[in-house]
């Protein structure tokens, strides 16, 4: 029975409604590339402690379609057995099947033990070196894979971001998109723009770090020379969106120019005496956590002016279930671009996918796209997808570094934190996110990502002006009482009140 069928028949309503995570298998590569991204919930393993994997079981599905088994002739009908252990782990037994089962990073054997922590992070399984599956505990809620969406993926994080993008498109508030270099901040910005304006309005993305101070005013705000008006980036974006990329990397001069423009909500072209109103949506991106920015700096002041909403993009290594989908999409994209006259019919080799799934991806989605481009270029005149040995060596997972007993403990994986655990930590820490991060042993950015992921949770920046106004009036400006009613950080709430002009 597929996940979709279970959801339709309401056989596991309690699980579906509670966001409870269950063991899942996700197809990372398959001889039929259309099947990449399909997933199967091992409900019998979750509920009764035993389940099976074979050519004919379980059924994998995506996008609400009917489920179907792997149906690969090289995979045996005799099953691989999954058994829950008393310690919370899973034992995989392949004694009675001809299917060769491998786990990335381990020597081949007939029986493997997967710990609870490994299951939370995701374990890469290989079947006869042809099919690669990700074995991971994930929310049961059915997911969609929209190949045309700017933000592709089936992970809970990407689903949550898509939902927020839809919400943001109905609002005109500025947005800060945070995340490490290469995670897809510009794609998220474009998704907001496309949801709000479609493809008919301008979308201007500005690399602030690349603008020299000598021409910054001209490029941003325009210039009037010899009675001719040359519009700057803000005017070019009128009626649409302007994205100010990695704002902390811009010079102090650019920070001051932007601060004045945002304060007056207008720009003054160089050589002109007439101010032009800013008539575009403003989105900024940042690769720094807010806690890393000096509160007295101009960047911090800009963040205050643009503080209504923050969106956090998770690193690729935290959403392994998206890697197969993304790589397949990038291969198709690059193939169409480079060889439009030749059909793309390659199968993605299991060995390559296993290395993609276990790599740490310091360059995130951007690096994955670059790898796809290199594979496509190398494969042009080959009968099957060519794997450059040097590329494969670069994609080997890094060996854990040995450290002293006094080394800093490894942070916990965010996907192991349940909604209930997060809610409890928020309440006990009075919604202070840095304290919550310390209590749960995860990063502050991960706390934001979890709040995005779970419905019903929010930060002070998510609050609407009407919510703040009503609570302020109800509690006569007592921010502690407002904190407990609105369930957000008191410090963040005071910042919002200050930015809205309230007396605190």
Q: Phi and psi of 112, rounded to 5°?
A: -130, 150
- pLDDT bin (cut points 50, 70, 90) of residue 189 is very high
In the 8-state DSSP scheme, what is residue 202?
Answer: -
Contact 240/192 with Cβ under 8 angstroms? no
pLDDT of residue 298: 72
- The residue among 428 and 15 whose pLDDT is bigger is 428
Q: Is the pLDDT of residue 66 over 50?
A: yes
pLDDT beyond 90 at 54: yes
56-73: average pLDDT: 90
pLDDT at 410: 63
- Mean pLDDT of the region 324-331: 94
Mean pLDDT across 96-125: 93
Peptide bond into 225 cis (omega under 30): no
Q: Average pLDDT in the 407-411 region?
A: 55
Q: What is the pLDDT of residue 400?
A: 43
pLDDT attached to residue 68: 94
Calculated CA dihedral for residues 104, 108, 110, 112, nearest 10 degrees? -40
Average pLDDT over residues 54-61: 95
Residues 484, 427: Cα–Cα separation, whole Å: 9
Q: Is the pLDDT of residue 457 over 50?
A: yes
pLDDT the model gives residue 142: 64
pLDDT at 20 over 80: no
pLDDT of residue 149: 77
Per-residue pLDDT tens for 219-274?
999 999 888 999 999 999 999 999 999 888 888 899 999 988 988 999 999 988 89
Decide if pLDDT at 24 tops 90: yes
The whole-number average pLDDT for the span 65-86 is 93
Span 76-105, average pLDDT: 94
**CB neighbours of 191 closer than 8 A, spacing ≥ 6?**
149, 150, 151, 162, 165
* 7 has a pLDDT exceeding 80: no
Query: pLDDT band for position 409 (50/70/90)?
Result: low
434: tokens are 């840095």
Q: Report the distance separating Cα 303 and Cα 300, nearest Å.
A: 5
Structure tokens at 250: 């811009």
Dihedral Cα 423, 425, 429, 432, nearest 10 deg: -70
pLDDT value, residue 295: 55
From the list 504, 501, 502, 499, the residue with the least C-alpha distance to 173 is: 499
Q: Are strands 21-29 and 39-41 parallel, antiparallel or unpaired?
A: antiparallel
SS (H, E, C) 109-129: CCEEEECHHHHHHCEEEEECC
Is residue 6's pLDDT more than 60?
A: no
Residue 350's contacts (CB-CB under 8 Å, 6 or more residues apart) are: 29, 126, 127, 129, 130, 131, 132
Average the pLDDT over each of 61-65, 72-76, 117-121, 331-335 and give the range with the smallest value.
Answer: 61-65
Residue ranges and CATH numbers for the domains of the chain are 3-146+318-394 (2.60.200.20), 172-311 (3.40.50.300), 414-499 (no CATH)
Flag the least confident range among 26-30, 158-162, 297-301, 358-362: 297-301
| Chain centroid, CA 300 distance in Å | 25
Spatial contact of 143 and 323, defined as CB atoms under 8 Å apart: no
Q: In this model, does residue 360 exceed pLDDT 80?
A: yes
Average pLDDT over residues 80-108: 94
Tell me how far apart the alpha carbons of residues 156 and 136 are, in angstroms, rounded to a whole number.
12
Give pLDDT tens digits for 288-323. Answer: 765 545 555 677 777 777 666 889 999 999 999 999
- Residue 25: name the closest of 6, 43, 50 by CA: 43
Q: What pLDDT score was predicted for residue 15?
A: 41
Identify the pLDDT of residue 278.
94
DSSP lists the bridge partners of residue 29 as 132
Over residues 386-404, the mean pLDDT reads 65
pLDDT at residue 447 greater than cutoff 80: yes
Asked if 189 and 282 count as a contact pair (C-beta separation under 8 A), the reply is: no
Q: Of 43-47, 76-80, 169-173, where does mean pLDDT reach its minimum?
A: 169-173
Lowest mean pLDDT among 28-32, 109-113, 304-308, 472-476: 304-308
pLDDT score recorded for residue 372: 93
Q: What is the pLDDT of residue 9?
A: 36
Mean pLDDT of the chain, nearest integer: 85
What does each C-alpha distance from 467 to 439, 484, 503 come to in angstroms?
Answer: 29, 13, 17
Residue 16 pLDDT > 80, yes or no? no
User: What per-residue confidence (pLDDT) applies to 205?
Assistant: 94
**What's the Cα-to-Cα distance from 320 to each of 126, 127, 275, 353, 465, rounded to whole Å?**
15, 18, 49, 11, 37
Residue carrying the six token digits 């691989």: 80
In tens, the pLDDT along 38-50 reads 999 999 999 999 9
Q: What local confidence, expressed as pLDDT, does residue 282 receive?
A: 93
> Within a 10 A sphere around the Cβ of 42, how many other Cβ atoms?
21
CB 90 within 8 A of CB 119: yes
pLDDT at 52 over 50: yes
Mean pLDDT of 196-217: 91
The pLDDT-based confidence of 403 (bands split at 50, 70, 90) is very low
């Amino acid at each position: 029975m597929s996940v979709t069928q279970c959801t339709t028949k309401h056989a596991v309503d309690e699980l579906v409604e509670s966001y409870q995570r269950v063991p899942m298998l996700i197809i990372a590569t398959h001889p039929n590339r259309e099947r990449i991204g399909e997933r199967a919930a091992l409900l019998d393993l979750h509920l009764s402690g035993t389940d099976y994997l074979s050519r004919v079981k379980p059924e994998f599905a995506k996008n609400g379609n009917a489920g179907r088994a792997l149906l690969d002739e090289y995979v045996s009908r005799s099953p691989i057995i999954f058994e829950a252990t008393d310690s919370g782990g899973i034992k995989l037994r392949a004694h009675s099947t001809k299917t060769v089962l491998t786990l990335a990073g381990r020597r081949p054997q007939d029986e493997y033990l997967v710990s609870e922590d490994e299951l939370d992070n995701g374990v890469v399984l290989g079947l006869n070196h042809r099919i690669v599956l990700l074995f991971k505990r994930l929310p049961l809620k059915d997911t969609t894979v929209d190949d045309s969406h700017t933000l592709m993926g089936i992970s809970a994080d990407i689903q949550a971001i898509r939902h927020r993008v839809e919400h943001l498109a109905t609002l005109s508030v500025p947005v800060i998109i945070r995340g490490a270099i290469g995670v897809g901040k510009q794609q998220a910005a474009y998704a907001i723009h496309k949801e709000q304006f479609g493809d008919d309005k301008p979308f201007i993305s500005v690399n602030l770090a690349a603008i020299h101070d000598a021409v910054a005013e001209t490029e941003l705000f325009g210039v009037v020379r010899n009675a001719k008006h040359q519009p700057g980036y803000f005017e070019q974006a009128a009626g649409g969106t302007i994205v100010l990329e990695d704002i902390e990397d811009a010079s102090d001069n650019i920070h001051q120019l932007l601060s004045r423009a945002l304060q007056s909500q207008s720009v003054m072209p160089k050589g002109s005496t007439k101010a032009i109103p800013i008539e575009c949506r403003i989105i900024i991106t940042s690769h720094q956590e807010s806690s890393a920015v000096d509160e007295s700096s101009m960047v911090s002041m800009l963040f205050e002016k643009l503080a209504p909403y923050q969106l956090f993009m998770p690193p690729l290594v935290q959403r392994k279930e998206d890697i197969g989908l993304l790589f397949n999409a990038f291969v198709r994209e690059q193939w169409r671009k480079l060889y439009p006259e030749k059909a793309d019919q390659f199968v993605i080799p299991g060995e390559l996918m296993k290395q993609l799934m276990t790599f740490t991806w310091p360059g995130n989605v951007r690096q994955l796209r670059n790898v796809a481009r290199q594979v496509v270029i190398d494969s042009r005149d080959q009968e099957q997808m060519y794997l450059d040995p040097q590329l494969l060596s670069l994609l080997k997972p890094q060996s854990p570094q040995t450290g002293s007993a006094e080394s800093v403990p490894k942070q916990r994986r965010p996907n192991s934190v349940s909604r209930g655990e997060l809610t409890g930590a928020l309440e006990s820490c009075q919604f202070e996110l840095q304290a919550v991060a310390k209590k749960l042993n995860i990063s502050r950015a991960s706390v934001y990502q979890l709040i995005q992921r779970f419905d019903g949770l929010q930060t002070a920046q998510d609050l609407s002006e009407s919510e703040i106004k009503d609570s302020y009036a109800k509690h006569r400006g007592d921010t502690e009482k407002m904190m407990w009613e609105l369930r957000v950080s008191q410090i963040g709430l005071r910042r919002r009140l200050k930015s809205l002009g309230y007396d605190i």
